[in-house]
Amino acid sequence: MLEIVLEDIGRRFNRDWIFRGINCRFVQGNSYAILGANGSGKSTLLQIILSSLSPSEGQINYLQEGRLLEIADFFSYVSLAAPYQELIEEFTLVELLEFHFSFKRIIDDMDLKKLLSLLGLEQSAHKEIRYFSSGMKQRTKLAMACCAATPVVLLDEPTSNLDVKGIDWYHQLIQQFGANKLLIICSNQAHEYDFCQHQLMIEGYK
């Protein structure tokens, strides 16, 4: 079981504090929603949890079965899907998936053919990512995150660029592949997080 423990976490830009004093324990097998208005610091906090951004104050610890993990080792335990996440535009879909899962092990009982079927993009398997619509790209990001054999999945605005059919697909994806993972979702739209068991309102830490 993996846990992420935040102790008095704060982050500021210049002299302005985005948030301060966040104490929270995220535990595998649970789902969490980080909520707040646009610009409130949700994505900043997610980047701190991801360890791609350092807190201005406080401490974050990663524990695997109670054993402290080095921050540099956390990469192999976490997957991310976010609007600011770049895809390699020159790759075809097949090339992108093969490249991604050379770094992250794919979940059991999943392979490239099944993943293309899950995406509904069999006909676009050899199309370059640059020719994908924004919705196709978002589906690809979500599938890569949720189908990686990592105990932690971080999703930032997961239904951005998805239509109604795509939102339904997102819910099915989470239901099918989100169990037994530590799922953290940054959002201000209820349909993205209404299944989450816990909520953290970031405006309470200003």
Which domain does 103 fall in, by range? 2-205
Q: What token pair was written down for 170?
A: 């997102």
Average pLDDT, integer, range 39-64: 95
Instruction: State how far the alpha carbon of 14 is from the alpha carbons of 10, 11, 18, 43, in Å.
Output: 13, 10, 10, 18
- The pLDDT score that the predictor gives to residue 204 is 87
Residue 41 has a CB neighbour count (10 Å cut-off) of 23
Q: For residue 16, what is the domain's CATH number?
A: 3.40.50.300
Pick from 4, 10, 82: nearest CA to 43: 82
Is residue 72 scored above 90 in pLDDT?
A: no
Instruction: State how far the alpha carbon of 193 is from the alpha carbons of 57, 99, 174, in Å.
Output: 28, 29, 10
Confidence of residue 206 (pLDDT cuts 50, 70, 90): confident
Number of domains in the chain: 1
6 three-state secondary structure = strand
Provide the mean pLDDT of the chain. Answer: 95
